[in-house]
Structure 1
């Protein structure tokens, strides 16, 4: 099937090609606006201070060692001990309702902690509580001098998700691809002879005449 033939085929089924993407987009839009609550993200940043920072004269060696400690603290932030302690401090059963994201650059001792949930005030409280707990636990377990909080998390004013326009766009594209696939497969399964060229190809003889179709005639 050539590209021109595909376009001609799609033109014959324009209602399906246009209607299915629109229906898919409307359904996903309705679900995303009605069934999916807004989510909010609060972020706090931490600075890892090791015991060598004040005594070591080799800045390069000190920075490399501190970065390794920062990576360990990053892992500690996602540990069950820190999260369970945070849940206990806030009177929560667990932190399963929150999405916790931790990131740190390889050339920096600054760690960014982000907490996402449906309550803007609560996500800020969880982020700050995690920061406080990781500071205490890292000093106890890893003998880190301190994990200082650079910026306290504040309750976000605007939602960070869900990304409803993206979901609608993906649904629309998915509906379009599905419509094209349905039209092409239906055409491939249609075994009717629809042109003189197909007759010549099937029978191997030329067409020498055609009988016109007259609407309303006998």
Structure 2
């Protein structure tokens, strides 16, 4: 098997550097055009709630001990499921007059449970920043009403109400273009080595000895006119 030195690798890359640069630039430009002019911007906002325990759980003392905190943290998972339930989503869609199915609504709304806390974060992603804010706040309001009915929870507090986002979270043109540039560079280098492998022409005196098994008697240098 023919061995190729590092020097020869760089010579191969240098010989086809225009192809490498061209593919890399095309990749970056294509990514920039798609990110800026084709993909729709997505905006994200969130509402955070702190939810306590139901009336009938544990003791009713005004002082909250460590066991109460652990109980509330376990109940947060239940509250997260209530946020995504049809009882909540149907009412939010109706109140805001949204032209969305339950599935489409679920794709926009995400419920995150902050680890080791009693906090629920209702995150909403939408192409309209004002609509994202409205859905997040309305979902929190409806959830607070439903959880009082279902779980008999009274101690629910809104920590942060959703605000209208100013900047989209995606697409990220700079990041996309950087990734496209790296991928374009890798693909172009791979393509260069494929082309070099498929090229069976004789280019150097060493190629003559290797492919034809003939000794080199002399060479004729290329001279400028």
TM-score range, shorter chain: 0.7 to 0.9
- Is 1:25 aligned with 2:28? yes
Query: Distance in 1 between the 2:157 and 2:64 partners?
Result: 22
Query: Distance in 1 between the 2:144 and 2:215 partners?
Result: 87
Q: How many residues align?
A: 216
Residue of structure 2 equivalent to 1:70: 76
Q: What secondary structure, in the 3-state scheme, does the structure 1 residue paired with 2:100 have?
A: coil
- Is 1:124 aligned with 2:130? no
Alpha-carbon distance change, 78 to 2 in structure 1, aligned in 2, over 3 angstroms: farther
TM-score, normalising length from structure 2? 0.84
Q: What secondary structure, in the 3-state scheme, does the structure 2 residue paired with 1:68 have?
A: helix
Residue 59 of structure 1 is aligned with which of 42, 61, 65? Answer: 65
Residue of structure 1 equivalent to 2:198: 189
Query: Distance in 2 between the 1:105 and 1:150 partners?
Result: 13
Alpha-carbon distance change, 54 to 94 in structure 1, aligned in 2, over 3 angstroms: farther
Query: Distance in 2 between the 1:62 and 1:17 partners?
Result: 63
Which moved further from structure 2: 103-112 or 138-147? 138-147
- Is 1:137 aligned with 2:143? no
RMSD of aligned residue pairs (Cα, Å): 2.4
Matches within 5 A, 1:36-185: 36-50=39-53, 51=55, 52=57, 55-56=60-61, 59-94=65-100, 96=104, 99-185=108-194
Alpha-carbon distance change, 158 to 122 in structure 1, aligned in 2, over 3 angstroms: same
5+ residue gaps in structure 2? none
Residue of structure 2 equivalent to 1:15: 18
TM-score, normalising length from structure 1? 0.86
